[in-house]
Structure 1
Amino acid sequence: MAKPKKTPRPKAQTPKGFRDYFGAEVSQRAEMLQKIAGVYHRYGFDALESSGVETVEALGKFLPDVDRPNEGVFAWQEDADADKPGDWLALRYDLTAPLARVYAQHQNDLPKPYRRYAMGPVWRNEKPGPGRFRQFYQCDADTVGASSVAADAEICAMLCDCLEAVGIERGDYVVRINNRKVLNGVMEVAGVLDMLHPERHSEKRGMVLRAIDKLDRLGVDAVLQLLTEGRRDESGDFTEGAGLTSHQAATVMTFANSSDAMDRSVAEIKKGNASAEVQKLQDVIGFRNFLTCGHLKEIVGLSQVGKQGVEELKQIAETVASLGYDTDRIVIDPSVVRGLGYYTGPVYEAELTFEIQDEKGRTRNFGSVAGGGRYDDLVKRFTGQEVPATGVSIGVDRLLAALHAKGRLDTTDVGPVVVTVMDRDRMADYQAMVAELRQAGIRAEVYLGNPKNFGNQLKYADTRNSPVAVIEGGDEHEKGVVQIKDLILGAEIAKSATLEEWKDRPSQFEVPRADLVAKVREILAQHGLEK
């Protein structure tokens, strides 16, 4: 008789593009989410938690897709083998598309405008890479039902406050703003957008937008190639160009390079090379933004949609200036495109401006950690009526990585006070100790492993990064005392102290049992751990 085959054991490994998070990482994310939520709440936004699964139809096709409805997302079909297969479902790829469904479904019960924030994981079935995972956290805030660009300005100001709340200092970030309407105006002037027949040249416009989006990374010459005949990179790979004429490409590049042009203009004004009237304005909050708006107005020429976009940018500039946000924090930057296809007006990104070393040891700017914009057509997919909306999404994992890179996060998580077990028959006494500590707001646990080897208990406490160990053997119990061991001080003394110093700085204290909580609290306070 053949020997039955053994069932193969599953591999203990995370799927490609995913990772596990432990201890300090989870605590740091939770703390960051709490700080961001505090800013959102202070601005008047209400919390919303929607389903992690949506129908593919509800999500829409705003990520790259070819023929299949599940391209770019993790999707499956309900009852796929049945006579009547069910809906295609997918894990949400962001928190904005689900909001459109929620608003359309519950609009009669929601205030108008509806201001909500949401936090949670999203999933994208895309190629993973260094620091790029298929599951990551987002932290969104959106206003639905407000057509005024004052809502966009408020989002940008709030984004600044969120970055500073989590520890990103002024000077280390900038929020950049553009407007899709200005982009459309430039496309119209360049001859690749017919407002009466917007479906024409759509593929070419997409190539132009992707080229502009690469300006910071590739530079002017490379982007010009992508706008015209195409580009071959260092590896030999060829990227097809948009096929614009030199005149068309020049129009687009004049627009995309507006920030550099403004830098030069501001430098000239500071040198005194401008009219007295202009010289006087340079100290006005947001002056550079107003200068940029004038420059863009010239570029869009007679394009009505372009002029409307410039006017909206001007209104945003005026609003953020009135709130006290100068161009060192919020700046109009025409090179901002944003990749998702549902934006219809202002778009914005928060970029961290400090330099880091990448995985290959190269110096580069950290880059974008948040983005968003106006998407007035998203709810219309459900209701048939246009509902204005704008919002921002913060990449929490990217922000955490940035704070790590700046050395502003402690990578260790302080563990609990560990009550050791000297006599397993007195477990109730030890549990009573941790109960008292917990009731006092102190994180604590009883050692629940094999108590036979006391040294292993202290090793466990070290592994847990515990600040204090509590010891009560039979002798201590009879005397009504406990031993309190300061593990942090003990580790410091063990590193460098002489015998005399060790005697002068004891790290273990005998106190009455009734003083257990007070002594533990005193030690924690000495190390800045008491809350």
Structure 2
Amino acid sequence: MSEGKIRRPRAETPKGFRDYFGAEVTERKAMLDAIAGVYHRYGFDPLETSAVETVEALGKFLPDVDRPNDGVFAWQDEDADWLALRYDLTAPLARVAAQYRNELPNPYRRYAMGPVWRNEKPGPGRFRQFYQCDADTVGSGSVAADAEICAMLADALEEVGIPRGDYVVKVNNRKVLNGVLESVGFGRRYGDSETQMLANKYDEIMLRELKSKEDQILRTIDKFDKVGINGVMQLLTVGRTDESGARIEGVGLAQHEAEPIAWFLTAKGADNNETILSLRKAVGDSAFGKAGVDELEQMSNLLAAQGYGADRIVVDPSVVRGLGYYTGPVFEAELTFQITDEKGRPRNFGSVAGGGRYDGLVKRFTGQDVPATGVSIGVDRLLAALRAKGRVAGSSEGPVVVTVMDRDRMADYMAMVGELRSAGIRAEVYLGNPKNFGNQLKYADKRGSPVAVIQGGNESAAGTVILKDLILGAQIAQNATLEEWKDRPAQLEVPRAELVAAVRKMLAK
């Protein structure tokens, strides 16, 4: 660097992050406020936790390295504790439920909304900071809690503008899959507790082998929506060749071992009762599987009693995402309407929310089993869906701009804007250099202002103001006819005393 040359920072957003401006922030807040209204109606309380947690409390991302930042943004505090930005809203809930367990009501019902951070490789549509919107019930093992979450999710979608018929909440159960695996010899057969001690070292080795095989099966059935049932069968058995010609090794199950898993995935019937009957056949004699089917049946009955039929909430075994994480019911909200992708092809919009039961949430902190169930809405995806449906405009109306014709009369202009604001009208005075009036109108246009208020010396002497309809003016400049211009002029002069009423009338048009 040459002597005397100043090195200036680059004005750019860090990789994997983005900035949000007026309309996007306004739309997101309106959507989240609507969702919060539904959650509040269901009796859930808001919770705001710190953006920073100890890495020990986060737990999940602790790698076997000196700096524990795999997946999170972490740093070492002065007292040698490792801290990290939260990677989701569930880990903080676990800490809160343990820390305040003697003060909180049981069950504890909370919702939380806010940004989370993940130290992952960014890509198209994949950012290191994004918003989450969660609702959870901690402390209830009843399937009524799971059913309530599903009903609340359906209501929230309708509240923000996804009409009935354009979405469906699909429900499945991890226990049913466990029962299917058990029926073909790959279930662990250790009941609900994952921490039950085994008899000897041989059993430990067998458990590791079973878990490895089970994980392979879970990863395979998670591809069901991409490769279909035939593709899943190939991947469970001998493998398959994908569209690019690459060979993908199979799990190695025999045909008779893979078939019950296929039955499970395709057990959806004409209604919930028929689906549940098919699942009972799929789990065979597995007590664990039967318990999962019983839970699905109870949920279906509870939802039906509240008026949520299969047109809104449906038992669907094809919901397999997250089955490796959840311990009981799982659910996913799918939007069923079509959009056009970047290549011009029609496709269904897809999933915008998911959740389920994850018992053992607080056990890491207290050593005691604490049941929990919840759901997380993908904020950005749901906003994109609302834009696709025309429920949000993608822009927001700017303020009324009071222009400045004479800087010595700033008090008069401030009096005008004060009256407009007192009447509940969004307004501002132009605070740039007023010398060039054209620049003031360009500013108003860039702000998306609907109306400009103008008062020069002549208007001041006459006790009037000029109102310029900027939206209509833009329309006239593009394609309005002479008759339309005469019928509704884009500019009019009104008495100064009628400023508020005239602006309100113009905004209403």
Q: How high is the TM-score relative to the length of structure 1?
A: 0.88
Q: Confirm or deny that 1:182 pairs with 2:176.
A: yes
**Aligned pair in 2 of structure 1 residues 181, 499: CA closer, same or farther (>3 Å)?**
closer
Tell me the distance in 1 between the aligned counterparts of 2:70 and 2:324: 15
Find 1:122's aligned residue among 109, 116, 126: 116
Deviations for 1:375-410, whole angstroms, at most 9, x for unmatched residues? 111111111111111111111110011122223321
**Aligned pair in 2 of structure 1 residues 469, 174: CA closer, same or farther (>3 Å)?**
same
Q: Which deviates the most, 342-351 or 149-158?
A: 342-351
Q: Which deviates the most, 399-408 or 70-79?
A: 70-79
State the secondary structure of the residue aligned to 2:101.
helix
Tell me the distance in 2 between the aligned counterparts of 1:497 and 1:226: 62
Contact 1:434–1:445, Cα closer than 8 Å, also in 2: yes
Q: Percent identity?
A: 70
Give 1:155's aligned residue. 149
Give 1:270's aligned residue. none
Task: Tell me the amino acid that sits aligned with residue 241 of structure 1.
Answer: G
Tell me the distance in 2 between the aligned counterparts of 1:334 and 1:407: 32
- TM-aligned CA deviation for residue 28 of structure 1: 0.6
Q: Confirm or deny that 1:194 pairs with 2:203.
A: no
Q: Confirm or deny that 1:243 pairs with 2:252.
A: yes
- TM-aligned CA deviation for residue 318 of structure 1: 0.4
Deviations for 1:339-386, whole angstroms, at most 9, x for unmatched residues? 385421111000111222222333322111001111111111111111
1:14-29 → structure 2 map (5 Å cutoff) = 14-29=13-28
Contact 2:238–2:249, Cα closer than 8 Å, also in 1: yes
State the secondary structure of the residue aligned to 1:11.
coil
Contact 1:194–1:200, Cα closer than 8 Å, also in 2: no
Task: Tell me the amino acid that sits aligned with residue 228 of structure 2.
Answer: G
Task: Tell me the amino acid that sits aligned with residue 321 of structure 1.
Answer: A
Q: Confirm or deny that 1:32 pairs with 2:26.
A: no
- TM-aligned CA deviation for residue 76 of structure 1: 2.7
- TM-aligned CA deviation for residue 66 of structure 1: 7.4
Give 1:143's aligned residue. 137
- TM-aligned CA deviation for residue 237 of structure 1: 4.5
Give 2:164's aligned residue. 170
State the secondary structure of the residue aligned to 1:108.
coil
Tell me the distance in 2 between the aligned counterparts of 1:251 and 1:416: 62
Q: Confirm or deny that 1:508 pairs with 2:507.
A: no
Tell me the distance in 1 between the aligned counterparts of 2:310 and 2:2: 75
Give 1:414's aligned residue. 397
Tell me the distance in 2 between the aligned counterparts of 1:324 and 1:65: 47
Task: Tell me the amino acid that sits aligned with residue 180 of structure 1.
Answer: R
Tell me the distance in 2 between the aligned counterparts of 1:293 and 1:97: 33
Find 1:334's aligned residue among 294, 317, 320: 317
State the secondary structure of the residue aligned to 2:106.
coil
Q: Confirm or deny that 1:308 pairs with 2:291.
A: yes
1:112-511 → structure 2 map (5 Å cutoff) = 112-196=106-190, 199-259=208-268, 262=269, 266=270, 288-339=271-322, 342-499=325-482, 501-511=484-494
Give 1:43's aligned residue. 42
Contact 1:472–1:482, Cα closer than 8 Å, also in 2: yes
- TM-aligned CA deviation for residue 239 of structure 1: 4.2
**Aligned pair in 2 of structure 1 residues 69, 247: CA closer, same or farther (>3 Å)?**
farther
Tell me the distance in 2 between the aligned counterparts of 1:52 and 1:241: 42
Tell me the distance in 2 between the aligned counterparts of 1:357 and 1:504: 40
**Aligned pair in 2 of structure 1 residues 307, 162: CA closer, same or farther (>3 Å)?**
same
Tell me the distance in 1 between the aligned counterparts of 2:26 and 2:323: 31
- TM-aligned CA deviation for residue 125 of structure 1: 2.6
- TM-aligned CA deviation for residue 440 of structure 1: 0.9
**Aligned pair in 2 of structure 1 residues 461, 310: CA closer, same or farther (>3 Å)?**
same
Give 1:283's aligned residue. none
State the secondary structure of the residue aligned to 1:160.
helix
Tell me the distance in 2 between the aligned counterparts of 1:416 and 1:359: 34
**Aligned pair in 2 of structure 1 residues 415, 150: CA closer, same or farther (>3 Å)?**
same
Deviations for 1:492-523, whole angstroms, at most 9, x for unmatched residues? 22223444543342222222212111111111
- TM-aligned CA deviation for residue 470 of structure 1: 0.4
**Aligned pair in 2 of structure 1 residues 201, 66: CA closer, same or farther (>3 Å)?**
farther
State the secondary structure of the residue aligned to 1:432.
helix
State the secondary structure of the residue aligned to 2:102.
helix
State the secondary structure of the residue aligned to 2:15.
coil
Contact 2:401–2:428, Cα closer than 8 Å, also in 1: yes
- TM-aligned CA deviation for residue 225 of structure 1: 2.7
Contact 1:193–1:200, Cα closer than 8 Å, also in 2: no
Q: How high is the TM-score relative to the length of structure 2?
A: 0.92
**Aligned pair in 2 of structure 1 residues 364, 181: CA closer, same or farther (>3 Å)?**
same
Tell me the distance in 1 between the aligned counterparts of 2:482 and 2:292: 74
- TM-aligned CA deviation for residue 199 of structure 1: 4.4
Question: Structure 1: which 5+ residue stretches go unaligned?
Answer: 80-84, 267-287, 527-531
Tell me the distance in 1 between the aligned counterparts of 2:438 and 2:2: 47
Q: Which deviates the most, 19-28 or 127-136?
A: 127-136
State the secondary structure of the residue aligned to 2:503.
helix
**Aligned pair in 2 of structure 1 residues 427, 238: CA closer, same or farther (>3 Å)?**
farther
Please report the RMSD computed on the Cα atoms of aligned residues, expressed in angstroms: 2.1
- TM-aligned CA deviation for residue 142 of structure 1: 0.8
State the secondary structure of the residue aligned to 2:100.
helix
Task: Tell me the amino acid that sits aligned with residue 177 of structure 2.
Answer: L
Q: Which deviates the most, 189-198 or 441-450?
A: 189-198
Task: Tell me the amino acid that sits aligned with residue 223 of structure 1.
Answer: V
- TM-aligned CA deviation for residue 27 of structure 1: 0.7
Contact 2:62–2:68, Cα closer than 8 Å, also in 1: no
**Aligned pair in 2 of structure 1 residues 336, 87: CA closer, same or farther (>3 Å)?**
farther
Q: Which deviates the most, 152-161 or 508-517?
A: 508-517
